[in-house]
Chains A and B, each alone.
Chain A
Amino acid sequence: MAEVFQAIDQFPVTLKTWLLGHAAGVMPEWALPLLSAALSITPILAVFPLLFALTTVIERKGLGRIQNRRGPNRVGIPLTNIRLAGFGQFIADGIKSLTKEDIVPRSADKVVHFLAPIALLIPVLLTYSVLPFGRNMVPLDLPQTGLLFFFALGASTELSVFMAGWSSRNKYSLLGAMRAIAQMVSYEIPLILSALTVVMIAGTLSLSGIVESQAEVRFGFLHSWHLFTPWGLVGFFLFLTAAAAEANRTPFDLPEAESEIIAGYFTEYSGFKFAIFFLAEYLGLFAMCGLGITLFLGGWLPPFKFLGFIPSWCWFLGKLVALILLFIWLRGTLPRLRTDQLMGFAWKFLLPMTLINLFVAGLWHLSVTSVPMTVRWIGGFALLAIPYWLLGRGFEAQVGKREYRFAN
């Protein structure tokens, strides 16, 4: 029985080695690494755009239910009357995006305008290559610098935002682009610092190594996820907040909010280019969630050892879907933050909290042998909760009675 589950768990790897073995006799020597890379990439290119399509439908239906209405529930299988509760909506959206007229403003910078969506999509797709999707299932295993690769490509996406905003020759696009870049740059610091905490404890920048460092089984059944530590818990929420801001997701979606700035830096894009922007934005969100899962939630590890029969890639996908649903829930709940509130939140709250988190993680690691578990937990939480309360007070104090300078 265990062999069956093992086979299901490793079937992508066995499939790939089988195909490569057969191709080795047929193809020349220099083509084999390319074929291996292509075989690794194909599942990513198949699964994640499909996940994106389903997410758009689930988001619309979920937001609808949160807002006391139904979401789309008519479009099912095209050319038939089968409704499928609206889950064919992404087909209709895809056909619409592909067949819309591609309008480029006359005074726009054509080359840069064309390259911006591509410059966004390529780094985002590249970030998927270092995420461990399951046991032995990392497309590109970089034992020295896996996490650094991810963050380097994440930083490159900001350039395409600028390209999109500037090449449109539109004041509002430019304004949206500047705000978006400022937001992304500011929130990169808490993002990287909260990830750095994990690197410090795990001792390696390799993502599969970080997952391995969470494989230790405690109390006989509990895998030691980083989430199950005080600094891990707080670090996870800090990471999620910074990831939401990096992905321009509510409550941090001011650069692309419809009621504020029409569409921000991609106002002047229509048709397929807009679809690429949309796709790249959601894929970036999935990649950030995937990284959060790898760093804090144990990657492809189950929480309890006795649940290990469920395949590892199932666990990864399940956690990814849970995080996506959490983001949809947050989108339906929270109002948007204004630009200055956004920046203040990053620099005055998230940054100090991540630094304190780093310090607490260091204390936790150094006191493994000397201090009993309960004391470590209580001490860790207290050291994190008190600054949280104090910093939070700084935000509430500003919400006082509003003074109207010219009305009195």
Chain B
Amino acid sequence: MTLSFAILAGLTVGSAVAAMSLRNLVHCALGLVLTFAGLAGLYLQLNAEFVGFTQILVYVGAVAILIVFAILLTRGTEPANEPAAVSPWAGLPVAVLAFLAMAAAVLASPVDKRLAAPVPEVSVKTLGQKLMTDYVLPLEVLALLLTAAMLGAVIIAMKDKEDLQ
């Protein structure tokens, strides 16, 4: 448990809590962005450079923008002032139960007793080669999914224009 891990973990968990509990929706979105950044820091700490920077590029650079645009285009600029519908204390026993179940499962597994495997020296080149040979099917399925999403967006946008005319 090094100092850098403690700081990054604290940042991630703290901003996740803020993202759940703040009143203003855009503040929540910004808290989520901090969580993503914290996760990227944790990846970098594990020497997974490529994944860490891709996390920033994709999540902070694209997904966060998407969330923010969704808030803007649907809720407008008014700050939300609604009180919470359900009392927060109702969820507390459920959360504690879930945490206890997961902690029991993790501690009972042999992950604690195994020796740490030597970290393979993975370069981006090997990542690329694996993507193109062993994992080419998931890659192509992802490409298909993204194309479908883009087509859907274009169709929705086109429909709006026809309505205007």
Contacts and interface: CB of A to CB of B under 8 A. Distances in A.
A159 B27 CA distance: 13
Contacts of B72: 166, 174, 178
Interface residues of A, number: 27
B4 interface: no
Interface stretch (A46-54, A83-91, A142-150, A252-260): A142-150
Nearest to B40: A152
Interface in B55-84: 56-57, 60-62, 64-65, 68-69, 72, 77
A9 B60 CA distance: 39
A158 interface: yes
A155 B69 contact: no
Interface residues of B, number: 23
A145 B69 contact: no
A169 interface: yes
B50, B56, B125: most-surrounded residue (chain A CB, <10 A)? B56
Contacts of B26: 109, 112, 166
B56 to A, nearest CB: 4
Contact of A144 (B50, B57, B60, B61): B50
A151 interface: yes
A13 to B, nearest CB: 25
Contacts of A109: 24, 26
B30 interface: yes
B77 A166 contact: yes
A162 interface: yes
B53 A148 contact: yes
A145 B50 CA distance: 6
A14 interface: no
Contacts of A149: 53
B77 A145 contact: no
Contact of B53 (A145, A174, A203): A145
A181 B65 contact: yes
Contact of B77 (A152, A174, A181, A203): A174
A66 interface: no
A194 to B, nearest CB: 16
Contact of B69 (A142, A154, A171, A178): A178
Contact of B57 (A155, A166, A181, A205): A155
B11 to A, nearest CB: 15
B124 A159 contact: no
A268 to B, nearest CB: 13
B33 interface: yes
B77 A159 contact: no
Interface in A247-289: none
A155 B124 contact: no
A152 B56 contact: yes
A202 to B, nearest CB: 12
B64 A159 contact: yes
Contact of A205 (B24, B30, B77, B124): B124
Interface in B118-146: 123-125
Contact of A162 (B24, B56, B65, B124): B65
Contacts of B54: 148, 152
B49 A145 contact: yes
B77 A169 contact: yes
What are the 5 tightest A-B residue pairs by CB atom distance, in nearest-first order? Answer: A155-B61, A152-B56, A152-B57, A152-B53, A148-B53
Interface of A: 109, 112, 142, 144-145, 148-149, 151-156, 158-159, 162-163, 166, 169, 171, 174, 178, 181, 185, 188, 203, 205
27 contacts: A109-B26, A144-B49, A145-B49, A145-B124, A148-B49, A148-B53, A148-B54, A151-B57, A152-B53, A152-B57, A152-B60, A155-B57, A156-B56, A156-B61, A158-B61, A158-B65, A159-B33, A159-B68, A162-B68, A166-B26, A166-B77, A171-B77, A178-B72, A181-B65, A185-B62, A188-B61, A205-B124
